Structure 1
Amino acid sequence: MKKYLRATLFWPMLALIVLLIPVTLFAQKHAEGPSSATATFTNFNEKGEQVTRFSCAGEAIDAHDGEIALFDGMYYLYGTSYDCGFQWGKKDAPFCGFKVYSSRDMVSWTDRGFLFDAAKPVWQTRCNGATYGCFRPHVIFNKKTSLYILWINVYDNRVGFRVFTAKNPTGPFTEVAEPRLAVNADSPVAGLNNGDHDTFVDDDGTAYVAYTDWRTKGTIVIEKLNPDYLSGTGVHVKAVTTGNTEAPSLFKRGSKYYITYSDPNCGYCSGTGTSYKTAASPLGPWSEGISISNNSCGGQPSFVSPIKLPSGVIYLYGSDLWNNAAKNEALANYYWAPLSFADDGAIQPMICLQTVTIPVKQGIKKKALSAELDNTSGLEGFRTHGDIRKGTWRSQSFVAKRSGLLNRVSFTTFKNGDPDAALLLEIYAASDAGIPEGQPLSSAVVAAGSVGWAANYITVEPKCRVTAGRSYTIVLKSNTTSGFYGFAFNDGLKDEGRKSAYSTDGGHTYAVDERRTLMFQTYVREAMK
């Protein structure tokens, strides 16, 4: 269950120091074959600050409280979307649905869309802000039925879950009959019965669901599923934890079973603990709990996924880096890193890693860039901030590399607090310091309704001419008095003639921040010679 609570835990100084050290992790000490390669993903920048992960299309990854699964050599990231403006506890907030992204290296992600159509009235009724919401999509594969099985946590029925099937890991998923579970089967409909869960398939094909029993104030239950993985069998163990826990992850390493969980439960907290227990069987008996982190590297634990790699198996831990129940949790980031184990199988205390490098089966071929691409800030190492409103403008300058028609401009933005006015994107000639000069060369109105809550590219077509070697600037402004628009920025890129500036008096004066680059792309159609 997701609740408005403020975190009371802070990062230990030791963890902050370790954050500054890039660390390379390999699953086991095996030699890699000639076709192997590595991929590195980033959790924090060199200052220890969270960074936003973007898809290949320049859109912030918007899949929260889910998991990463590996099917047939492809990674799939499943999670709850917040881009349409979902807010827990806001009655008129829409339900955005569940998204899935795919990747071959956990670095370059492709948006594969929604698992099912959440815009239908039935799903808005079940999952919008007037309810407790719908969360935690988990997908497993059933070899006997050749179907992918999706379990989600809901609060509109008695059991607390709904189940779907699909022929492909990206869906579309079709709902089947409500599952049956042993715990809280006689509780009121649409109450706080069963919550946060995980699904797990054992080596022999037997599947289990681990879920939170809210009637006992957050103890965890593990129940065996039937052969089609669509419902429980009634065979279960209660009180795996003693209470005040949630977000379980069930997995196996060797002959030992593990369950990690949020300890204590603290939905939307940016810093709650992670503990674990072990057993010789999914149904226990389970050991005493052991803490491996008091803040989950700034978030709340979400998943542990066993990932088979060329060099062995890693157990990838993930936490959601929530913003303490801020209005816009679409901006929440992620922490991903393999767990480390001692010789006796104990999970070692977590060290919060800035970067993680893993071996992959083959290198990833980058897509060819558009021939018209003239300037780009790139996608790596960016953070988000919002302050564009009436009187406060932001600008990003660039030096045209070729002469011709400025055909397209893409700029990363998002909204927060329901702006009551559109966003205006203008192109100006600029001084060498990046300050706008004269009248706008082009102006485009971006309706508030076309800007999402996640940080995504908006693209306009200025159709104005630029000259190679001259400076121009993109200006974003709005007359909104309710809420604001935001941007993505990186303070660690090379200058390359780019200057970021801002105005707090409606464009009369500007202050330049030469360290900062806002996320953008420009495309120029070269003039005919």
Structure 2
Amino acid sequence: MRKNLFLFIALFSLLTFSCGQKAADSNKDLKMIVSGAEWFDTDSNRINAHGAGILYHDGIYYWYGEYKGDSTYWNPKVPSWECYRTEAGGVSCYSSKDLVNWKFEGVVLESNLTDTLSELHPSNVLERPKVLYNDKTKQFVMWLHVDSHDYAKAAAGVAVSDTPTGSFSYLGSMRPNDAMSRDMTLFKDDDGRAYHVYSSEENKTLYISLLTDDYLKPTGNFTRNFIDQSREAPAVFKRKGKYYILSSGCTAWDPNQAEVAVADSMMGAWTVKGNPCTGKDAEITFYGQSTHVFPVAGKEDAYIAMFDKWNKTDLINSRYIWLPVAFDENGDIEIAWNEQWNPDQVFK
């Protein structure tokens, strides 16, 4: 009897382990995006790519972002706002084919550790990197917000590479169109033209600037938009001939209400449509701030909106919020809160 009892326990344990193992194996295939959680790369290291942008090239998604240092401090030389920051660690890059599993490709624009006068020195500010591929020059072109430690420089930097994973060569910075440039994004239209979109005039006005054919400089053709409305964190995308700008208000590191505007031309005029976010904490953008919106390759009407959930006193531990964008029959958008979702199931 005792022997049979031990045999039963052994068989039960084996069966339980087998079922549990099958459940664990199936969970590996769920491919869930979980907003606000810690995200890890394929080497099980925490993903460090903030203020990010996505480039899709030759079947692979490339995620570029701010590579933040592990120590956050407050800069007392900027009394006008809570200037928490970390040492600038350059621009990181991760690659993926499924938008869930991300491989660390390295720091593709490195900070300059030795030259204190370099714009890439860790004591300065490197934010919101975005990368486009130029079909004419066959170069990958990066623009980013380059600033001094006190945010007084307010410039845009440019770097180039022959491959998406770098390393990128830094070409220098400018104040495009002789105007301040802070929070920014890039947008490449269907005709190959590229645009630099950036907060200017002490973040009170959003500029849209057409770039030269090589994407390295402004052409001088630009428009001033949302004048005195204090919009930042722009994210631009296009759908069915309509252009969309998603942006936030200016409340430093603290979240606020998102806003979307729509136009028939990239240069405007823009019609403000209000807050597209719905669900829990929609009035403060789910505790996030917009950084990029991108289409999912090979899927119709499939777009993902990316947000940073800033942790101002521990910036390296800021989290990521990615949500699908929905459209109604009029082309108006909705970004609904969804704590976890599967891109393969949402975008069929």
Counterpart in 1 of 2:322? 336
Q: Structure 1 residue 154: deviation in Å? A: 1.0
Q: Is the CA contact (8 Å cut-off) linking 1:84 and 1:96 kept in structure 2?
A: no
Q: Structure 1 residue 93: deviation in Å? A: 5.4
Q: What is the RMSD computed on CA atoms of the aligned residues?
A: 2.4
1:140 is the counterpart of 2:132: yes
Amino acid in structure 1 at the alignment position of 2:88: F
Cα distance between partner residues in 2 of 1:333 and 1:153 = 20
Q: Is the CA contact (8 Å cut-off) linking 1:65 and 1:135 kept in structure 2?
A: yes
Deviations 1:182-232 (A, max 9, x none): 242xxxxxxxx22101101110011101100143x4221101000000010
Cα distance between partner residues in 1 of 2:309 and 2:295 = 21
Cα distance between partner residues in 2 of 1:230 and 1:240 = 25
Amino acid in structure 1 at the alignment position of 2:48: D
Once the two structures are aligned, what percentage of the paired residues are identical? 27
Counterpart in 1 of 2:269? 285
Distance 1:78 1:124, change over 3 A: farther
Q: Structure 1 residue 163: deviation in Å? A: 0.2
Q: Is the CA contact (8 Å cut-off) linking 1:77 and 1:102 kept in structure 2?
A: yes
Distance 1:317 1:88, change over 3 A: farther
Q: Is the CA contact (8 Å cut-off) linking 1:85 and 1:96 kept in structure 2?
A: no
Of 288, 300, 305, 1:299 maps to 288
Q: Structure 1 residue 266: deviation in Å? A: 2.6
1:355 is the counterpart of 2:340: yes
Counterpart in 2 of 1:260? 246
Counterpart in 2 of 1:244? 230
Q: Structure 1 residue 126: deviation in Å? A: 2.9
Name stretches of at least 5 consecutive residues in structure 2 with no aligned partner.
1-28, 78-84, 278-282
Cα distance between partner residues in 1 of 2:121 and 2:251 = 21
Counterpart in 2 of 1:76? 62
1:208 is the counterpart of 2:192: no
Counterpart in 1 of 2:91? 98
Q: Is the CA contact (8 Å cut-off) linking 2:237 and 2:244 kept in structure 1?
A: yes
Question: 1:220-231 alignment to 2 at 5 Å?
Answer: 220-231=206-217
Cα distance between partner residues in 2 of 1:124 and 1:100 = 25
Counterpart in 2 of 1:317? 305
1:110 is the counterpart of 2:103: yes
Q: Secondary structure at the match of 2:71?
A: coil
Question: 1:40-59 alignment to 2 at 5 Å?
Answer: 40-44=31-35, 50-59=36-45
Cα distance between partner residues in 2 of 1:314 and 1:345 = 13
Distance 1:124 1:161, change over 3 A: same
Cα distance between partner residues in 2 of 1:111 and 1:63 = 10
Q: Which moved more, 1:160-169 or 1:116-125?
A: 116-125
Distance 1:220 1:289, change over 3 A: farther
Cα distance between partner residues in 1 of 2:303 and 2:168 = 27
Cα distance between partner residues in 2 of 1:257 and 1:288 = 12
Q: Structure 1 residue 265: deviation in Å? A: 1.6
Question: 1:103-502 alignment to 2 at 5 Å?
Answer: 103-122=96-115, 125-126=118-119, 131=124, 133-156=125-148, 160-179=155-174, 181-184=176-179, 193-215=180-202, 217-240=203-226, 242-262=228-248, 264-269=249-254, 271-293=255-277, 294-309=283-298, 311-323=299-311, 325-326=312-313, 328-348=314-334, 350-359=335-344
Q: Is the CA contact (8 Å cut-off) linking 2:309 and 2:319 kept in structure 1?
A: yes
Q: Secondary structure at the match of 2:266?
A: coil
Q: Secondary structure at the match of 1:228?
A: coil
Larger Rg: 1
Amino acid in structure 2 at the alignment position of 1:173: F
Q: Structure 1 residue 82: deviation in Å? A: 1.7
Cα distance between partner residues in 2 of 1:109 and 1:158 = 34
Q: Which moved more, 1:111-120 or 1:228-237?
A: 111-120
Amino acid in structure 2 at the alignment position of 1:278: V
Q: Is the CA contact (8 Å cut-off) linking 1:299 and 1:320 kept in structure 2?
A: yes
Cα distance between partner residues in 1 of 2:270 and 2:208 = 11
Q: Is the CA contact (8 Å cut-off) linking 2:183 and 2:234 kept in structure 1?
A: yes
Q: Is the CA contact (8 Å cut-off) linking 2:89 and 2:110 kept in structure 1?
A: no
Distance 1:54 1:241, change over 3 A: farther
Cα distance between partner residues in 2 of 1:229 and 1:334 = 28
Amino acid in structure 1 at the alignment position of 2:127: F
Distance 1:318 1:88, change over 3 A: farther
Amino acid in structure 2 at the alignment position of 1:166: S
Amino acid in structure 2 at the alignment position of 1:258: Y
Q: Secondary structure at the match of 1:99?
A: strand
Cα distance between partner residues in 1 of 2:315 and 2:200 = 25
TM-score, reference length from structure 2: 0.80
Counterpart in 2 of 1:401? none
Amino acid in structure 2 at the alignment position of 1:152: L
Q: Structure 1 residue 123: deviation in Å? A: 7.0
Cα distance between partner residues in 1 of 2:121 and 2:157 = 15
Q: Which moved more, 1:75-84 or 1:117-126?
A: 117-126
Cα distance between partner residues in 1 of 2:307 and 2:156 = 22
Q: Structure 1 residue 250: deviation in Å? A: 1.6
Name the one with the larger helix percent.
2
Cα distance between partner residues in 2 of 1:300 and 1:194 = 18
Q: Is the CA contact (8 Å cut-off) linking 1:39 and 1:359 kept in structure 2?
A: no
Name stretches of at least 5 consecutive residues in structure 1 with no aligned partner.
1-37, 45-49, 185-192, 361-529
Q: Secondary structure at the match of 1:195?
A: coil
